[in-house]
Amino acid sequence: MAETLTTRCCVAGGGPAGMMLGFLLARAGIDVIVLEKHADFLRDFRGDTIHPSTLELMHELGLLDEFLKLPHQEVSRLSFQVGAERIPMVDFRHLPVRCKFVALMPQWDFLNFLARQGRRYPAFHLLMQTEAKDLISDGGRVVGLRAKAPDGKLEIRADLVVGSDGRHSTVRERAGFTVEDVGAPIDVLWFRVSRKNGDTEETSGHMEAGQMMVMLNRGDYWQCAYVIPKGGIEAVKREGLFRERVLALSPFLGDRVGELRSFDDIKLLTVAIDRLRQWHRPGLLCIGDAAHAMSPVGGVGVNLAVQDAVATANLLAARLADGCPAEHDLDAVRRRREFPVRMTQAMQVVVQNRLISAALKPGNAPLRPPLPVRLINAVPWLQGITARFVGLGVRPEHVRSPVSKHL
């Protein structure tokens, strides 16, 4: 016999979208259960980029000072090395927000922080090692979900189920939602090499004919994203570890590239851009990557997931206080968030198809910066535009959900 729990809102998936939503609903006094299938948040190479707009939300929540006490690195400018030329691309220093930088922080620190903040509210319940397996429906409406917990089966009855279980979402699959695949011509190999005194401080991209890598300064190591053509991992493996290629892009890693010992040191990110046509059904809503997987271009996946959560809490917290939100209330979340998602994905497609794919074409001729890159270099205020798009995103959200008086 499955144990049964009852709550106002059951959130499946404790990533950035689910944890932020759980925290905001509990803060509004709405009883919420967040399910996370893993025992902890410790997973390497997930989105570790906390953008200025997310930091602004932390300020609005009164949490910014505490948040910034967590170990992080601050990136206020981004440049690209294209052949012999170093080109400034993004300058966050003039954004109209408190934090004019991207904070690089392990995602597990961010999620643990949200979990700690959530636990301040009695309405917040986080069930780790609990995996959503199926939806429970009654008369065409979702009324809860079935989950596998460490002690056995669990049934959670809820006025609203939110699927925030990422880009391989069980919830969206069980709901039968149609996924529109936008496509992505690239995959990314993530790895790390140590950082030494005397290395540059700068987080930057590197492009040569046929190759591209982004290096994030993570304090004592470089987090490297080596970009390959879609499905190219087998060809890379046949060639063996790509240390020479890494060295061609960043010669200063000469004494450290040997830290790449096997493909176990490398994590493949199969890049996907997709989105749901329909984000909701009666009693059910999908947000974050479960509603729209993003490309790593701009590192905006975490930011969009958080923005979805804020919009959901803004639009639904008051409705949830009275029971299940109506369908048009659920659709209000899609209407609010679909435009920013589509705009961001469209920009990612342009960057992937026009700039990155062109750079990855094999060839021996020295790579010339493409026209848009040369323009950004020539007209410095364009670096402010790219900063707005990456750092704040389209139609950034602000916290409007209520705060419960009953702590």
Ligand X SMILES: Cc1cc2nc3c(=O)[nH]c(=O)nc-3n(C[C@H](O)[C@H](O)[C@H](O)COP(=O)(O)OP(=O)(O)OC[C@H]3O[C@@H](n4cnc5c(N)ncnc54)[C@H](O)[C@@H]3O)c2cc1C
DSSP 267-291: EEE----EEES--EETTEEE-GGGT
Quote the least distance from Cβ 124 to ligand X, whole Å. 16
Q: Where are the alpha helices (DSSP H) in 165-242?
A: 170-175, 233-239
Residues between 246 and 285 that touch ligand X (CB under 6 A)? 267, 269
Quote the least distance from Cβ 277 to ligand X, whole Å. 18
Interface with ligand X, residue 396, by CB under 6 A: no
| Among 132, 171, 160, 165, residue whose Cα is nearest residue 30 | 160
Question: Out of 61, 115, 132, 367, which residue is the one contacting ligand X (CB under 6 A)?
Answer: 132
What φ, ψ does residue 48 adopt, rounded to 5°?
-110, 20
Question: Out of 144, 166, 325, 391, which residue is the one contacting ligand X (CB under 6 A)?
Answer: 166
Sign of CA dihedral 186, 227, 351, 331: positive
- HSE-CB at 359 with a 13 A cutoff on CA atoms is 25
Contact window for ligand X (CB under 6 A) among 45-53, 246-254, 320-328, 354-362: 45-53
Question: What DSSP element (H or E) covers 148?
Answer: strand 141-149
What φ, ψ does residue 241 adopt, rounded to 5°?
-60, 140
CA 368/CA 58 separation, integer angstroms: 40
Interface with ligand X, residue 8, by CB under 6 A: no
Interface with ligand X, residue 45, by CB under 6 A: yes
Residues 6+ apart with CB under 8 A from 48: 104, 105, 106, 107, 216, 218, 223, 302
Residues between 20 and 39 that touch ligand X (CB under 6 A)? 35-38
Question: Out of 190, 191, 222, 242, which residue is the one contacting ligand X (CB under 6 A)?
Answer: 190
Question: Out of 131, 187, 208, 397, which residue is the one contacting ligand X (CB under 6 A)?
Answer: 131
Question: Measured from the CB atom, is 150 or 323 closer to ligand X?
Answer: 150
Interface with ligand X, residue 301, by CB under 6 A: yes
Interface with ligand X, residue 165, by CB under 6 A: yes
By CB under 6 A, name the binding residues for ligand X: 12-18, 35-38, 45-49, 131-132, 164-166, 170, 190, 267, 269, 288-290, 294, 296, 299-302, 305
